[in-house]
Amino acid sequence: MTVLPIRTFDDPALRVPAEPVRDFDRELRRLVKAMTVTMRAGAGRAGLAAPQVGEPLRVLVYDYDGRAGHLVNPRLELSERRVVADEACLSAPGVWWPLERSYMVTARGRDMFGKPVTLRALGVLARVLQHEADHLDGVLFSDHLEAAERERFLAAALPSG
């Protein structure tokens, strides 16, 4: 399976909220598999959302610390406890930035066959799920930063010129 190109932070397609998946068909399974291959193609990759590979659908894949899978049409329930940790994005390669997120998340959605899935995650995996779910809503993690921090992040993340 081919590694898909990943859209960068300056691509306007990343700002468009993704559409819910309605058809749990062969094309969806092919997308999940291609996204998983793409996510695993480089070091440090823990998650990927369909809009990052040009598919405006509510699909994300994850693989962190021995827990791997995917969620279709995910809904997240966030804990009140929040922590700050460095975060990165495949759409802004090589740039890490501190960001506050919920420490725990319960994610509910479907698998690629339409079967219900519930996933509870702590720490980094919870962060990964929140980050990828944001992509499904057209939100970039830099949107969570204060204005001055966002400017510094974008200066580091986007190619100049």
Task: Identify which of 76, 88, 86 has the alpha carbon closest to the alpha carbon of residue 46.
Answer: 88
Rounded to whole angstroms, the Cα distance separating 1 from 23 reads 22
In SS3 terms, 41-66 reads as CCCCCCEEEHHHHCCCECEEEEEECC
The residue annotated as part of the active site, out of 55, 132, 149, 151, is: 132
Kindly report the number of other CB atoms within 10 A of residue 65's CB atom: 11
27 carries an active-site annotation: no
Cα torsion for 74, 80, 85, 87, to the nearest 10°?
20
Kindly report the number of other CB atoms within 10 A of residue 97's CB atom: 19
Q: What residues act catalytically?
A: 132
